[in-house]
Amino acid sequence: MSHNPIIPGFNPDPCICRKGDDFYLAVSTFEWMKGIPVYHSRDLKHCELCTHVLTDDETVDLKKLPSAKGIWAPCLTWCEADDLFYVVYGVMNSMNARYFDVDNFLVTAKDIRGPWSEPVYLHSAGFDASLFHDDDGRKYVVSLDWETRENYEKPGAICLAEYDPVKKEIIGYPQRMWWGGTDRGCIEAPHLTKYGKYYYIMCAEGGTGYNHCVTMGRSTRVGGPYVKDPKNPIVTSVPGYSYERDDPDHLKPKYFNPDSVLQKSGHGSYVDLPNGETYLVHLCARPFVPELRCTLGRETAIQKMKWTDDGWLRMADGSNLAKAEVEEPGLPDAPVPAPISFDDFDAPVLQPVYYAPRILPQRFVDLTSRPGWARLRGQESRASLNKVSLLARKLTSVYARVTTKMEFSPDVHQHSAGLILYYDNMDYSYLRKYRSDSLDQEALAVIHMENGTRTVWLDECVPVEENCPIYLRVYVEGRKFWFEWSYDGENYQKIGGVFDTTKLSDEYCKYGEFTVSMVGITCADLMFHKKTADFDFFEYVADETKGVELAAAWSDSWNDRL
């Protein structure tokens, strides 16, 4: 059996395609760069991060975008007739006043690892745009046409436009063609496909929260009209009927299903296997209960599907409830290397697991000046939306230990560097080394930012030896996390408070949504943007066998572990 999620942590909005015996899956990255990770698998059980589509932060400029804006819902397809991979993605620039200003682009590549073409602008008619290659050679773009007018149902309807690959532009204006397969409202994430004589429209409905689901409709004509699947929704965490067309809110916590391990199941994409089987990938979440806070964000799960005799796509077990345990595909086993846990920074380039907010990590990370160390050049504060020197990786379990060794000699109080657990620029906890004027020496202290309110534990400030290497560590143990430090990497001392892991979540944070907790190393120079900190290694050890449901049962005895 395969255990969900198959790709834990921040991996939302999955879109899957197949080229021969190889499967490729792309996910959203929002404000994080590099953009659009692509995972590779040959058995749909073992997945390996193999590349990123967006690797130029000037062509795709995310600087100054608020948290949860940026790259939304990529659509990855492979067209056999063209022998090309296509990726359609949106750059969400603003959600102010619920206008949802987005620009949609298309890039192509012969090889999944690139190089990718220069982006072609498609349109700004809503988000979650995707591309369909018809068997007659024509191509179509579907997206959510966002509704801004009064007295119209929101968020809108799915629109269709033909794409001219020669002129590289949309033909005419997109036309509305689908209003959903249920009454859950908040339709989004359209994908057009063809199976047999029918065109199929697959969408997410109910909002990307606790009423989320996957729905389908079909037609004999690409432009419709489309007929609803009578069994909609076909995949969800909360079976049953609900009428929510009048409520555009996406979260809807009242639909939490205590009988399901996976919550928020929706936003799906399916693939037919060479052996005749069909599988669907979708996003899901595993919240802390009763807070209903998803510290690991929206993750990628998989379900076994089947085509019925009358041409509808359904879950193979006959239900529509997303399962944590799923029958494996009948494909040869194809294990992949485990993601790196101990990085000694000996390689000349960064491992693909690292990201930075809004800019590429290589803008501030130097791996050559001091071989075997990552040198981070400090820039703006962690609260900035512009140029922040933060090298991070995704938190994939709420049971994790992260350690680094740092050499850093701050000259003024505007210099700081250290280890950080980060949700967004207004929500993070940070163990920093800095220059203390009151102590007249280097010191360690923890800064905690919670919904824009900054707390510094100055009474727990620890003076440390000048120009001395320091080991920094953060423990995440279910609902709680805390920091420690050491001179020798063996004897650690706790510093700062014990913090609430659940608060690093979409549901708690007020300034961002849709993203996830990241853990990383960081440096700031608020004076000249040139002070550096050296990191000898970065160790990430996570126990992904423990589900969040275990954290939900965490007792008051957690103090015994500290």
**Is the Cα torsion angle 503, 507, 508, 511 positive or negative in sign?**
positive
Buried b (16+ CB within 10 A) or exposed e, 253-290: eebbbeebbbbbbbbbbbbebeeebbbbbbbbbbbbbe
Query: What is the C-alpha to C-alpha distance for residues 36 and 76, in angstroms, rounded to an integer?
Result: 10
Whole-angstrom CA distances from 85 to 57, 140, 193, 269, 367 are 21, 15, 16, 16, 32
The candidate with the shortest Cα–Cα distance to 396, out of 280, 543, 531, 293, is 543
542: left (phi over 0), alpha (psi -120 to 50) or beta: beta
Considering all CA atoms of the chain, what is the largest pairwise distance in Å, rounded to the nearest integer? Answer: 78
CB atoms within 10 A of CB 391: 21
CB-based contacts of 499, cutoff 8 Å, min separation 6:
429, 448, 480, 481, 482
Task: Provide the 3-class DSSP secondary structure of residue 421.
Answer: strand
The answer to whether the CB of 161 falls within 8 A of the CB of 171 is yes
Q: Which among 188, 343, 427, 442 is annotated as catalytic?
A: 188
The candidate with the shortest Cα–Cα distance to 40, out of 29, 28, 50, is 50
Task: Provide the 3-class DSSP secondary structure of residue 117.
Answer: coil
291 is a catalytic site residue: no
The candidate with the shortest Cα–Cα distance to 116, out of 80, 87, 83, 91, is 87
CB-based contacts of 491, cutoff 8 Å, min separation 6:
none
The answer to whether the CB of 402 falls within 8 A of the CB of 409 is no
Amino acid 543 reads: D
The candidate with the shortest Cα–Cα distance to 13, out of 224, 285, 233, is 285
Token reading at 532 = 């550096």
Tokens 């620009």 identify what position? 103
The answer to whether the CB of 191 falls within 8 A of the CB of 15 is yes
Q: Which among 13, 31, 145, 205 is annotated as catalytic?
A: 13
488 is a catalytic site residue: no
Half-sphere exposure (Cβ direction) of 338: Cα atoms closer than 13 Å: 10
The catalytic site residues sit at 13, 188
